C-alpha cells in the first residue's frame, strides 16, 4: 500500500511556508499535519473531504484547517488521465501554532486572530467578498520576502478574524483519533471509493480491502469517520451529483447513474434527505441569476 504523501515540515529558520502549486492533479491521499493550512483552489475540480465532511470543490474554494485535522482535496478521476490535458493550480500557506512566539496569541493585540485559529480546529470555509480579498492577498504574498511576508500573513489573518463570511466544516462533535497507520488505511479506503463510486461497492469489498470482517470493519469505520460506511458512500455519490448539477450539462437521470445510484427514485430520496431539496430544485436554484 502506498503511504500518504507527507507535508514538508517548516524549516527551523522559517516562520511559515507559502507554496504555489501547478500540478496534473491535487494530492489524493488523506493526511494531516501539525500546521495550520490556508488553501485556495485557483484551477481544478474534485471532492474535498475534511474531518467528517465531504463537498465538491472548484475554483475559488478557500479553506482554513487547524492542526491535525485530516483532509484531502482529491481531483476528479479525469485529472489522472494525461490524455485529458487537465491540470490544477492552488496556493497553500502552512504556519505553526506558535508562529508569533509562545503565548503571543494570549496578548490583547492578537485576541481576534487567536479566536479565529481556535475555530479552525473544525475547519473553516471562507466565502464571498472575504474569499476574493484573501485570494488576491495570497497571490501577492507568494512574491513577498522577509519582514513584508510576515506582515502579509498577519494582514490575511486579520481580514479573516473580522469576517462573518465563513462557516465551520466538521460537525461540532467531530474528533480526530487516528494513529498514523489508521490514516494510511482510511486513505486507501477513501481512494478506492472515490475512484469506484460509480460502480456497485459492497461492504464486503471494503472490508476485504481493510483485511477485516464486515462487522469489525463497520465498527472500525464508524468509530473513526463518525458515520456508517453506507452513509459515507452516499455522501460521495451526492457530492458528485452536486458537482454535475452545477455544471448543467446532464439531465437528472444521467446525473443519477453517473453518480452511482441504482434508480432515479433512490437518487431523489437520498439527495433530498441530505441536501433538503430535490435534485431538480437544487439545480434550478443554482442556475438562477442573482
Write out the three cell numbers for 48: 474535498
Q: Are residues 157 and 218 in the same domain?
A: no
157 assigned to some structural domain: yes
pLDDT value, residue 248:
76
Q: Are residues 151 and 226 in the same domain?
A: no
- Distances in Å between the alpha carbon of 218 and those of 51, 210, 228, 265, 284? 18, 11, 7, 26, 37
pLDDT value, residue 288:
62
Q: Are residues 107 and 158 in the same domain?
A: yes
pLDDT value, residue 181:
56
Q: Could you tell me if 194 and 148 are in contact, meaning their C-beta atoms sit under 8 angstroms apart?
A: no
173 assigned to some structural domain: no
pLDDT value, residue 42:
98
pLDDT value, residue 185:
79
pLDDT value, residue 27:
80
Q: Could you tell me if 8 and 33 are in contact, meaning their C-beta atoms sit under 8 angstroms apart?
A: no
Q: The whole model's pTM is what? A: 0.81
Number of domains in the chain: 2
77 assigned to some structural domain: yes
Residue appearing with cell numbers 502552512: 94
Q: Could you tell me if 64 and 126 are in contact, meaning their C-beta atoms sit under 8 angstroms apart?
A: yes
71 assigned to some structural domain: yes
pLDDT value, residue 276:
93
Structural domain that includes position 73? 17-168
In the chain, which residues have pLDDT < 70?
1-9, 177-183, 287-290
Amino acid at each position: 500500500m502506498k503511504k500518504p504523501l507527507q507535508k514538508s515540515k517548516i524549516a527551523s529558520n522559517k516562520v511559515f511556508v507559502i507554496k504555489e502549486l501547478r500540478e496534473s492533479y491535487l494530492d489524493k491521499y488523506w493526511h494531516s499535519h501539525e500546521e495550520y493550512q490556508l488553501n485556495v483552489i485557483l484551477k481544478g475540480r474534485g471532492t474535498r473531504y475534511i474531518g467528517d465532511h465531504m463537498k465538491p470543490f472548484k475554483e475559488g474554494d478557500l479553506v482554513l484547517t487547524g492542526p491535525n485535522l485530516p483532509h484531502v482535496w482529491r481531483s476528479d478521476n479525469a485529472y489522472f488521465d494525461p490524455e485529458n490535458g487537465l491540470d490544477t493550480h492552488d496556493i497553500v500557506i502552512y504556519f505553526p501554532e506558535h508562529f508569533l512566539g509562545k503565548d503571543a496569541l494570549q496578548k490583547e493585540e492578537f485576541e481576534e486572530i487567536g479566536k479565529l485559529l481556535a475555530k479552525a480546529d473544525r475547519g473553516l470555509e471562507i466565502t464571498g467578498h472575504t474569499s476574493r480579498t484573501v485570494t488576491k492577498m495570497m497571490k501577492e504574498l507568494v512574491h513577498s520576502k522577509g519582514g513584508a511576508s510576515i506582515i502579509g500573513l498577519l494582514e490575511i489573518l486579520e481580514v479573516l478574524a473580522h469576517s462573518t463570511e465563513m462557516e465551520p466544516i466538521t460537525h461540532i462533535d467531530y474528533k480526530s483519533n487516528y494513529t498514523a497507520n489508521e490514516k494510511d488505511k482510511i486513505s486507501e479506503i477513501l481512494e478506492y471509493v472515490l475512484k469506484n463510486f460509480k460502480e456497485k461497492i459492497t461492504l464486503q469489498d471494503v472490508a476485504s480491502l481493510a483485511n477485516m470482517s464486515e462487522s469489525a470493519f463497520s465498527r472500525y469505520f464508524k468509530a473513526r469517520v463518525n458515520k456508517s460506511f453506507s452513509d459515507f458512500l452516499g455522501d460521495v455519490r451526492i457530492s458528485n451529483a452536486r458537482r454535475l448539477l452545477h455544471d448543467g450539462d446532464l439531465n437528472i437521470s444521467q446525473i443519477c447513474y453517473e453518480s452511482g445510484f441504482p434508480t432515479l427514485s433512490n437518487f431523489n430520496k437520498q439527495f433530498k434527505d441530505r441536501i433538503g431539496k430535490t435534485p431538480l430544485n437544487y439545480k434550478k436554484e443554482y442556475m438562477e441569476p442573482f
